[in-house]
């Protein structure tokens, strides 16, 4: 089969990897939520040979494509994909050292983000990282005219979608016990946003 391919995933994988190198442990287990084409999963698993990288997606068709890419290009530490719907809780996933979610928050209902945050709070080991990537409004305002246009297009396609206010995401994370660590400006007016599960010392 022809492997699914997203040009944006090729463009952003190295900037994202640079941030992940700063926050992921050398060993452990990472759950990737909304893995899409699997391009990121293959790339990041190869970059972190000490981590078991678990891809997932809400769509069965996407999981078929991810598995095909894993068999063709994947490293031994890349696990077969699992079906995972952020809206259906609890997730059938064992505790993990980190959760990575790229370009889902704006292309899903707000309730999916709330599910992601709640399950991250439940599944992350103490001090584990939740990594989000995508566009966000800051202080209720778009960060660029292109993001405002993108937000309008998303809402035309599905009224439940849209670029989220980062402050709303931070508040929702805090409500389930996740601590906002920092944000990193990324290419194309995106952000990396990092949260942490509390440690015993910080709880």
Q: Identify the helix (H) or strand (E) that includes residue 18.
A: helix 7-23
Task: Tell me the average pLDDT of the chain.
Answer: 96
Cβ atoms within 10 Å of 51's Cβ, excluding its own? 22
pLDDT at 172: 98
Specify the pairing of strand 28-33 against strand 51-54. Answer: parallel
pLDDT confidence of 85, banded at 50, 70, 90?
Answer: very high
Mean pLDDT, to the nearest integer, of 122-129?
Answer: 98
Six token digits for residue 157? 């396609």
pLDDT of 64: 97
Q: pLDDT tens across 140-150, in order?
A: 999 999 999 99
Query: Which letter does DSSP use for residue 179 in this model?
Result: E
Tell me the torsion sign for CA atoms 196, 127, 124, 74. positive
Q: What is the CA radius of gyration of the chain?
A: 16
Query: CA 115, CA 113: separation in Å to the nearest integer?
Result: 5
C-alpha to C-alpha distance for 202 and 171, rounded to whole angstroms: 18
pLDDT over threshold 70, residue 104 = yes
Structure confidence at residue 145 (pLDDT): 96
Q: Can you tell me which residue has the tokens 């010392």? A: 201
Q: Round to whole Å and give the CA distance between 135 and 25.
A: 25
- Residues 22-69 have pLDDT tens digits of 999 999 999 999 999 999 999 999 999 999 999 999 999 999 999 999
Residue 196 phi, psi dihedral angles, 5° rounding = -130, 140
Q: Is the pLDDT of residue 203 over 70?
A: no
**Whole-number percent of the chain with pLDDT over 70:** 98
**pLDDT above 60: residue 177:** yes
Domain spanning 7-196: CATH 3.40.50.970: no
Q: Is the pLDDT of residue 200 over 90?
A: no
CA distance 10 to 28: 25
């Amino acid at each position: 089969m022809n492997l699914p391919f997203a040009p944006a995933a090729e463009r952003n994988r190295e900037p994202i990897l640079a941030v992940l190198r700063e926050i992921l442990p050398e060993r452990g287990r990472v759950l990737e939520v909304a893995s899409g084409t699997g391009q990121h999963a293959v790339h990041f698993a190869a970059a972190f040979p000490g981590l078991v990288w678990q891809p997932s997606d809400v769509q069965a068709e996407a999981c078929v494509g991810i598995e095909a890419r894993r068999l063709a290009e994947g490293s031994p530490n890349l696990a077969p994909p699992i079906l995972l719907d952020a809206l259906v809780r609890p997730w059938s996933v064992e505790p993990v050292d980190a959760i990575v979610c790229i370009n889902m928050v704006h292309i899903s209902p707000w309730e999916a983000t709330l599910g992601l945050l709640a399950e991250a709070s439940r599944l992350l080991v103490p001090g584990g990282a939740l990594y989000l990537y995508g566009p966000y409004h800051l202080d209720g305002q778009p960060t660029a005219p292109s993001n405002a246009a993108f937000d309008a297009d998303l809402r035309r396609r599905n009224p439940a979608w849209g670029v989220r206010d980062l402050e709303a995401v931070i508040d929702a994370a805090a409500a389930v016990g996740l601590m906002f660590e920092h944000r990193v400006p990324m290419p194309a007016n995106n952000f990396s946003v990092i949260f942490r599960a509390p440690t015993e010392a910080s709880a």
